[in-house]
Structure 1
Amino acid sequence: MTISIKIQPNTYIDSVSLMALSTKANQLVGVEQAIIAMATEMNKEVMKNVGLFTEEIEKAQTSDLIIALEATDEQDSANLIEKIETLMTEKKEKGNNQTTERYTTIETAKKAIPEANMTVISVNGQYAAREARKALNNDLHVMMFSDNVSVEEEIQLKEFAHEKGLLMMGPDCGTAIINNVGLCFANKVRKGSIGIIGASGTGSQEISVRIHEFGEGVSQLIGTGGRDLSEAVGGKMMLDAIDALEADADTKVIVLISKPPAKTVEEKILARVRKTEKPVVIWFIGSDARANEEGIYFEKMSKAAALKAVTLAGIDQDSLNIHPLNIPLIDEVRGKLTLDQQYIRGLFTGGTLCDEAMFTAKEYFSDVYSNIATDQEHLLHFGDASKKHTFIDFGADEFTNGKPHPMIDPSNRIARFIEEAEDPTVGVILMDFVLGYGAHPDPVGVMVPVMQAAKEKATAKGRHLEIIGYVLGTDLDKQNIDEQVEKLTAIGATYASSSQNAGLLAREFVVKGVGK
């Protein structure tokens, strides 16, 4: 193995493009691992952690671009660096062939396109707040994909946006659908009468996909950023978004999505919702159950929330195929697992999908661990081995610092899957496969070889390995959902029809004391 480094001084590439480039670089034959990133202190720390750090990187400035490469053969290093630079050049050439103009500042773009009213910001977190303020000063709504922005900056930006009557979605806002246009990670869904406000990216995607499946559509999907309903931020974006959807003539039903909010913020949101004339469905993942109020409907799970929204919008529930759990399948899988195979291992690219499966398991089991657990007793830190029932969100910051999001680059999850499949106490491995804008072109396909090999290896050792896969997508997404599902079922994996069903199936398969 040999490490090669190339520094490109004063070269900026946005984080979304760098994720895509890093993914392509890691797919090159002869590459053991590669990171393409700006020379920020955070990215340098990541390179230290994975063994790609050198004195040359230490001296690089934050405005410099780093190509860090570990090759299997020293003689291939220079050639591989050239191939990576070719990938970068190809991207630039494709951009230059577009008929749209390219602008270097928000101000010049707004001057050239005065009718524009929104900007998507995907720059290093160190500069994101500055660019967002420029956008707001130019009367542009903001969707901030960037993370690593301070809470203080978030509060200031949202207060400024509120004063100007603008949306400030984010920071760390991964999903939006505005006027039927998907932004960042989003699925292609039909336009309809249900408005979604989400402090959760994949949770919002899941609700939008289920709404589409049930025959309705989305008027607007407004992301807030994951911290919006914290005590500090106070739900500022969600409150403004409720105002916007209440005023929107195309929106007939509103759905709110979040992990459990701070209690004071939850009451503030509910006080606002009680004044809304439109029906509101609330899915606060993992929150304690509460009774419905007039015009307000609380749901525990994603499919139930989507189903309530579409029925409120006028869809007849009796006309829908809501995919009830397959009881004969549950009995069949229980019969295949040994008594030792007691545990679920959930390996997720979507944080909310991980949350939903984890909370579903916690209703049955007390020994549930995760890197996104809210209590220290059940919290797994980066690099920790799995314990009992374990659910890992590979989109969490510790996995994505300096690396592409797992919806783009599955390498971290593949490595963990191989490890979990070897554990004789594991009965079920549960995974999500997210389709849509920005996602991997073949998320199931890249996992098929390792899934098939793991099942065959388990069989050779006299045990059954149950794999559950959920494909989050629609028939309109560019990745063909039918082909993705076929790839899963062709290797003997179980296909779950929704995030909700995936979590329910996993826990039912491993109920203690029912194995052979």
Structure 2
Amino acid sequence: MGIGSRFYPNLYKDSVSLMTVSARVTSIPGIEAASVVMASATNVDNLAQAGLGHFEVRPNDLIIAVSGSQEACDEALAVADKLLSASPGDGGEETTAAPITSIQMAVAKDPALNLALISVPGDYAAAEAMKALRLGLDVMVFSDNVNPDAELALKEYARDNELMVMGPDCGTAIVNGIPLGFANVVRRGPIGVVGASGTGTQEVTVRIHQNGSGVSHALGTGGHDLADAIGGISMLHGLAALDSDPATAVIVLVSKPPSPAVAAKVLAAAQDSDKPVVVIFLGADPAAITRDGVYGAATLAQAADMAVELARGQQPGTSDFTVSPEIGSALTDLADAMSPRQRYVRGIFSGGTFCYEAQLIHQTHGITAHSNTPVAGNAALHDIRVSREHTIVDMGDDEFTRGRPHPMIDPSQRDCRVRDEIADPATAVVLFDVVLGYGSADDPTAELTSIISSARGDGSTVAFIGHVCGTDLDPQDRAHAVAGLQSAGVLVASSNAEAALWSATLLAALGGNR
């Protein structure tokens, strides 16, 4: 086993570019782990914890660190060098203009600019975001690991100057039809979204598109915005902005449960809106949310469905998902074919909110699970490498991605986990998501379908239940991904909530058979 590394002095690349290079390097046969990062204190510490070496903190430098066979490490360093050394002029066009090296230079060159996307190591993101705000720009902070005090200072400044901060840790947005970060291609339309969850926002916008409607804007807030320390500043600003937007007729608010005080503040603002507002606070009782002009939803998919109905001038339905007779029969047949040892669901998610929602839905059916990101009432999975009984994991969490690309960018770690769960004789259901769109892998199901087809070919009876978050307009094409999974024997649900319901239904059938 070899380890290799390389420094690039004073070379900056944004986070998405670095993750893309890291995914390309990781895909090289023989590479066990790879990381391409700026040499901030946090990143240097993460490299050490991942066993990729010890480095000095030199924040202006870029580091690539790899482990694997020596031949693979040498190839990986060469590939990374080529990718990182490419310049905008390498396409053959002459470039004579001076490069833009600061936000201030960009605004001076084009005063019409009004949004800055910050994607630098978290240690420096707040300073860059404040520079943008002082220049009068709204800001999307893709970066994570920003100090809560710094986040509050940014958002208070933005609020006082009628600007918006999306983030920190805002991975998804759609502004004027332009997808930012991890986002899907959806048609324009009358529904605006403000989301404190990236994949939650993706699920809602995708479902709106699939239902024939469209999205005016999808504004992210970051995952910490609705905590007491921040007070929902960005969600309140986003709500007000959509309320005054003539292109928006219906508003959807998306979040995991806020603190009670922040929830009360957000719901009061929603009730004061001139437009109908659908609210999904995952895990909260919809009845406790519903009031004049505000409609509580139980699931992400239901929130999208209600918004589409409201946009069409209809009274929204509130019924839960049900299992069709056809699917019910298929689930029963699978349960009947399983051995007595097969008892457990193994949920493997790249979307943190999908993992959260799946746990909640299983709980409503009496199924508690272990997780690295457990909801209230579920147990913590102390060794994330090994499933225990019912297990539902978020493989996009920091524990899994330290020193590795996110599974949306590089699904190989997820695919290995699926293979391991299939090999466990106690596994009854493998439940998973596939997230399409900008930022995600070009073909996130290629290896997965091969693994599942091989498992079914050896005579084992494991139920594979999946959900594809994407649209027909995405670069990967949802119809293509769904067809490939179905041909491998996967039951593909229309939403994450429906997939979790199918899983819980099959487990209930197993309980009745044992």
Same fold by TM-score greater than 0.5: yes
Q: 2:503 and 2:382 mapped to 1: Cα distance?
A: 23
State the partner residue of 2:51.
51
- The Cα shift of 1:49 comes to 3.1
- The Cα shift of 1:43 comes to 2.4
Q: 1:183 and 1:50 mapped to 2: Cα distance?
A: 29
State the partner residue of 1:373.
374
**Preserved contact between residue 7 and residue 60 of structure 1 (Cα < 8 Å):** no
Q: 1:244 to 1:79 in 2, by over 3 A?
A: closer
**Preserved contact between residue 34 and residue 403 of structure 2 (Cα < 8 Å):** no
**Preserved contact between residue 141 and residue 169 of structure 2 (Cα < 8 Å):** yes
State the partner residue of 1:441.
442
State the partner residue of 1:193.
190
**Preserved contact between residue 42 and residue 401 of structure 1 (Cα < 8 Å):** no
1:34-433 equivalences under 5 Å are 34-53=34-53, 57-59=54-56, 61-72=58-69, 74-75=70-71, 77-90=73-86, 102-291=99-288, 292-314=290-312, 325=323, 326-375=327-376, 378-381=379-382, 383=384, 385-433=386-434
Identity, in percent, stands at 41
Q: 1:95 to 1:193 in 2, by over 3 A?
A: farther
The SS at the match of 1:209 is helix
Q: 1:384 to 1:80 in 2, by over 3 A?
A: closer
**Preserved contact between residue 119 and residue 141 of structure 1 (Cα < 8 Å):** yes
**Preserved contact between residue 122 and residue 144 of structure 2 (Cα < 8 Å):** yes
**What amino acid is aligned across from residue 302 of structure 1 in structure 2?**
L
Q: 1:172 to 1:474 in 2, by over 3 A?
A: same
Q: 2:469 and 2:378 mapped to 1: Cα distance?
A: 31
Q: 1:243 to 1:329 in 2, by over 3 A?
A: same
**Preserved contact between residue 184 and residue 436 of structure 2 (Cα < 8 Å):** yes
Asked whether 1:16 is paired with 2:16, we answer yes
**Preserved contact between residue 29 and residue 72 of structure 2 (Cα < 8 Å):** no
**Preserved contact between residue 178 and residue 221 of structure 1 (Cα < 8 Å):** yes
- Matched residue pairs, number? 506
**Preserved contact between residue 406 and residue 413 of structure 1 (Cα < 8 Å):** yes
- The Cα shift of 1:110 comes to 0.5
**TM-score normalised by structure 1 residue count:** 0.92
Q: 2:374 and 2:139 mapped to 1: Cα distance?
A: 30
Q: 1:254 and 1:364 mapped to 2: Cα distance?
A: 30
Q: 1:338 and 1:43 mapped to 2: Cα distance?
A: 46
Cα offsets for 1:39-68 (capped at 9, x unmatched) = 233323333333221xxx433523222221
The SS at the match of 1:123 is coil
**What amino acid is aligned across from residue 429 of structure 2 in structure 1?**
V
**Preserved contact between residue 339 and residue 513 of structure 1 (Cα < 8 Å):** no
Q: 1:20 to 1:96 in 2, by over 3 A?
A: farther
Q: 2:93 and 2:487 mapped to 1: Cα distance?
A: 40
**Preserved contact between residue 337 and residue 515 of structure 1 (Cα < 8 Å):** no
- The Cα shift of 1:303 comes to 1.7
Q: 1:198 and 1:59 mapped to 2: Cα distance?
A: 38
Q: 2:44 and 2:228 mapped to 1: Cα distance?
A: 32
| Structure 1 unaligned residues grouped into runs of 5+ | none
What CA RMSD, in Å, does the superposition of the two structures yield over aligned residues?
2.4
Cα offsets for 1:442-484 (capped at 9, x unmatched) = 1111322222233334x2xxx4111112111111111121111
**Preserved contact between residue 335 and residue 514 of structure 1 (Cα < 8 Å):** no
- The Cα shift of 1:299 comes to 0.8
The SS at the match of 1:446 is helix
Q: 1:232 and 1:242 mapped to 2: Cα distance?
A: 19
| Structure 2 unaligned residues grouped into runs of 5+ | none
**Preserved contact between residue 38 and residue 60 of structure 2 (Cα < 8 Å):** yes
Q: 1:395 and 1:169 mapped to 2: Cα distance?
A: 20
Q: 2:281 and 2:91 mapped to 1: Cα distance?
A: 40
Q: 1:77 to 1:371 in 2, by over 3 A?
A: closer
**TM-score normalised by structure 2 residue count:** 0.93
- The Cα shift of 1:191 comes to 0.7
State the partner residue of 1:475.
472
Extract structure 1 runs of 4+ deviating beyond 6 A.
98-101, 315-318
Asked whether 1:504 is paired with 2:498, we answer no
